[in-house]
Structure 1
Amino acid sequence: MKINVNGADIYAYTGGKTFNPEQPTVVFIHGVLNDHSVWILQTRYLAHHGWNVLAIDLPGHGRSGGKPPETVEEAADFVLALLAAMGAEQAALVGHSFGSLIALEAAARAPAQVSHLALVGTAYPMKVSPALLEASVQAPEKAIAMVNTFSHSTLCPPPSALGPGTWLYGGSRALMRRVLASNPKVNVFFTGFKACDSYAGGEQAMPAVHCPTLFLIGRHDQMTPPKSARALAGHARLAKVVEVNAGHSLMTEAPDEVLFALRDFLRN
């Protein structure tokens, strides 16, 4: 579905269900050079088990119009504007990587509006190497290859993710190329990485979050190392840490484990 937020048409995948104001809502926020599709298994399950699902393409990404957010804070304000546009007084926020910082900042800015916070593949600080920042501008194909090398711990996913025989590296590269090409005016690769690298509010934001917080981390994650996620969890009021056997691309490398962790967390 398309939602008008701040004058721009924003795409949100709903799992094939119509938004029902009587049901709880969960918003899924993707990472750099990703889109709504990275949450396909988790969103479809929740949409068919009593939740309104809004798996968004961030502004200026994929099927969404608008200007790509240049900072985590700007993106967090967008998420809160999205909730207002939907008339959702409260929602759960689930974010992966860059999206986890966005969800964290939104929950800190409006704690009464967030019922649950799930940070998937997160870290703070989320620094990006100068070489990768430069490559995202000067040699995006090289940067995409670098990100995929550090994001995966296996070549093929379990059947419940994308199907037997799927090549995770190739599928992820194709998605990243598609998202990069979706906005010829702005390099959303560099913009997203720069926003992650520049975010300095994590330690202040975490104690301001009032709701339960799930830290869902990959045991073999080289992009956002588990120790950095655990350090951030130390600043949370109500933290639960779940570690799965995956790299940074948790949703495709450990799809069932991610789904079950989110399902169980959102039930409480």
Structure 2
Amino acid sequence: MTDGARLGRAAAQWARTHRAHAGGWAMRYRTAGEGPPLVLVHGLGCSADYWMKNGPWLAAAGYRVLAMDLPGFGRTDGPPFLSIIQQAFAVSAFVEALQLGPAAFVGHSLSCQTVLELADTEPERVAGLVLAAPTGDRRRKRLLYEAIGFALDVPREPPSLVPVIAEAYLRAGPVRWMRTWLGGKRHDTFGAAARVRAPALVLVGEDDPVSSPKFGAALARAIPGGRMRVIPNAAHAIIFDEPHGFNDAVLDFVRGIGLAPAPSSTAG
């Protein structure tokens, strides 16, 4: 099968949505491909749809890629608020329902804290972590710094990003968005990072005012054996701004930790 055919097949699979009954929720998700599992966990206010430039490409490279709507976001109903610990439970319930076994987890923004928490509390589920544009700053004025960062990030993002996230933000609503954001500030991100034993890669955008390379380097140092990589020309929406650089970095990492892709005859 040619590369183009594999990508076309993966894109067709990714276009469909499914439901998994997990942890008391009917969690909507997208999936494509065959091979070692990669679980993509969306950032604050977003949904599985946010991975449109990543899921099919990673699947075509020989992996089983899955991305869920966390409870309360996208088209998964949920309570008005879930803490980082509760979100980690939701991710755990999702992978348990699908009987994935150990997987590599890719978090974006706030959900980097979620997958760090999962790796800390349920290490047997986690073969590796990719933390893309992570949050979790522990400075005293972290709320202020992050809010300023979000404001500065808006003009750095492509206009095509707006329709991708607008519907998800409207579905989530401002109260849920705000409560989840504030709840993330109460999570001990660096404490969880220090207890992680899975291989981890921190990815930050060169132009990200929310998750700077300086912060990314500090978080990578907090994780035993953690590494950092900077993606040129990317802002906070690193998975959307520079998908080729992001996807290549993820593939380099998962292959490097021994998650070999499925044979090309069956991938995607």
TM range (shorter): 0.7 to 0.9
Distance in 1, matches of 2:164 and 2:80, equals: 17
Aligned counterpart for 1:208 among listed residues 195, 199, 202: 195
Residue by residue over 1:120-147, the C-alpha shift from the partner in whole angstroms, topping out at 9 and shown as x without a partner, is 0014326332995xxxxxxxxxx9xx84
Kindly provide the amino acid, as one letter, of the partner of residue 180 in structure 1.
Y
Query: In 2, are the aligned partners of 1:148 and 1:172 still within 8 Å (CA)?
Result: no
**Alignment pair present for 1:150 and 2:153:** yes
**174-183 vs 209-218, greater mean Cα deviation:** 174-183
Partner residue in 2 for 1:135: none
Kindly provide the amino acid, as one letter, of the partner of residue 195 in structure 1.
G
Partner residue in 1 for 2:27: 10
**Alignment pair present for 1:66 and 2:81:** no
Distance in 2, matches of 1:68 and 1:263, equals: 35
Kindly provide the amino acid, as one letter, of the partner of residue 11 in structure 1.
R
What secondary structure sits across from 2:222 in the alignment? coil
Q: CA deviation at 1:151?
A: 4.7
What secondary structure sits across from 1:182 in the alignment? helix
Taking only the aligned residue pairs, the percentage that are identical comes to 24
Distance in 1, matches of 2:156 and 2:58, equals: 26
Query: In 2, are the aligned partners of 1:30 and 1:57 still within 8 Å (CA)?
Result: yes
**Alignment pair present for 1:262 and 2:265:** no
1:115-194 correspondence runs (5 A): 115-125=127-137, 127-129=142-144, 132=147, 147=150, 149-151=152-154, 153=156, 168-169=158-159, 171-183=160-172, 187-194=175-182
- Backbone CA RMSD of aligned residues: 2.3
Query: In 1, are the aligned partners of 2:221 and 2:227 still within 8 Å (CA)?
Result: no
1:25-40 correspondence runs (5 A): 25-40=37-52
Residue by residue over 1:58-95, the C-alpha shift from the partner in whole angstroms, topping out at 9 and shown as x without a partner, is 11111112225431111111111111111122111100
What secondary structure sits across from 2:26 in the alignment? strand
Query: In 2, are the aligned partners of 1:9 and 1:64 still within 8 Å (CA)?
Result: yes
Query: In 1, are the aligned partners of 2:199 and 2:226 still within 8 Å (CA)?
Result: yes
Change (3 A) 1:85 1:190: same
Residue by residue over 1:145-198, the C-alpha shift from the partner in whole angstroms, topping out at 9 and shown as x without a partner, is x846425535xxxxxxxxxxxxx23x33334431133246x7332122112222
Residue by residue over 1:36-55, the C-alpha shift from the partner in whole angstroms, topping out at 9 and shown as x without a partner, is 12222221022223222111
Partner residue in 2 for 1:235: 222
What secondary structure sits across from 1:128 in the alignment? helix
Distance in 1, matches of 2:74 and 2:166, equals: 11
Post-superposition, which runs of at least 4 consecutive aligned residues in structure 1 deviate over 4 A? none
Kindly provide the amino acid, as one letter, of the partner of residue 248 in structure 1.
H
Query: In 1, are the aligned partners of 2:47 and 2:74 still within 8 Å (CA)?
Result: yes
Kindly provide the amino acid, as one letter, of the partner of residue 150 in structure 1.
D
TM-score normalized with structure 1 length? 0.80
Aligned residues: 235
Distance in 2, matches of 1:263 and 1:196, equals: 28
Distance in 2, matches of 1:94 and 1:51, equals: 13
Distance in 2, matches of 1:208 and 1:58, equals: 24
Q: Which runs of 5+ in 2 are unaligned?
A: 1-17, 257-268
Change (3 A) 1:131 1:90: closer
**Alignment pair present for 1:109 and 2:121:** yes
